[in-house]
Amino acid sequence: MSDEQPIARIRMEALAAHLDGAAATWAARLGLPRDGEAQFALQLGEAGLQLAELGPQAPGPVRVDFVAGALAHRRQFGGGSGQMIAKAVGLQQGVRPRVLDATAGLGRDAFVLASLGCAVTLIERQPLIAALLEDGLARAAADAEVASIVARMQLLHGNAIELMGAWTGEPPQVIYLDPMFPHRDKSALVKKEMRLFRPFVGDDLDAPALLAAALALASHRVVVKRPRKAPVIEGAKPGYALEGKSSRYDIYPKKALGKG
């Protein structure tokens, strides 16, 4: 236990007085203090929930925004069904599979797939990230341009392995996994999101169990996103892979995706 990271100290803040009641509701839901010393803060402002590292050298806050910024640009100019992620999950003319994104994170990949017409269920187990996602989806649902996209996205909170093991009803045709990759290069400039989330999330050391659960549930295929040079997840071997400049999609086919 000695080499485990200490749990990050985080508090809930309202960035405007009239949001204090809503901030108190989030604090109660997530078990967060409203004051005291902290390394991080979950903040509620006019633009929604955001996670911020506190201190003079801290990067800017992170929030989920499906309406503007990078996701809006990708939705409009990102290459449509020609994108590698679309090919990986099996999009083709007349085929829009039902997808379970079992490691949702900030929901970017799920949003891309939903914008291309897929119904996507998202699972996020880390409560803070799930809260950011929930808030982002609620704000997007009120926006005329993207409301129809996020209507195809359903968020589940909880442990993906447990939820997949207890799944009832029609199984997802495709399960998409993007596990946090163990960070070994201490000198690398870590992206802002990773710097913020790693103290809370850590590494997905249960990735082999996650893959096994996905393979047991998916009706047609499992897709695993990995850094391009990373080893495959321990367990079943992928049937093939699609490789890009920095990422790779390992594909575990079970049955062909077809029309009807």
Q: Which CATH class is domain 10-53?
A: alpha beta
pLDDT at residue 216, as a whole number: 97
Q: Record the pTM.
A: 0.88
Q: How confident is the model at residue 22 (pLDDT cuts 50, 70, 90)?
A: very high
Residue listed under structure tokens 């939820």: 163
Is the pLDDT higher at 93 or at 189? 93
In the chain, at which residue ranges do the beta strands (DSSP E only) sit?
Answer: 10-14, 40-45, 48-53, 99-101, 120-124, 153-157, 174-177, 221-227, 240-243, 247-253
Q: According to CATH, where is 3.40.50.150 located in the chain?
A: 70-253
- pLDDT tens, position by position, 151-169: 999 999 999 999 999 999 8
Instruction: Report the candidate in 44, 43, 64, 65 with the shortest Cα–Cα distance to residue 53.
Output: 43
**CATH 3.40.1630 residue spans of the chain:** 10-53
Please tell me the total number of residues recorded for the chain in this structure: 260
Residues annotated in a binding site for S-adenosyl-L-methionine: 108-109, 124-125, 178
Annotated binding site: 108-109, 124-125, 178
Fold of 70-253: Rossmann fold (3.40.50)
Ranges of H-type helices in 84-178? 84-89, 108-115, 127-141, 147-150, 160-165
The pair of three-digit structure tokens given for residue 63, joined into one six-digit string: 């929030």
Q: What is the pLDDT of residue 75?
A: 57
Instruction: Single out the residue of 50, 32, 40, 51 nearest to residue 8, CA to CA.
Output: 40
pLDDT range class, residue 86, cuts 50, 70, 90: very high
**Which pair of structure tokens corresponds to residue 87?**
């090919």
Average pLDDT over residues 122-151: 94
227 contacts 194 by C-beta, under 8 angstroms = no
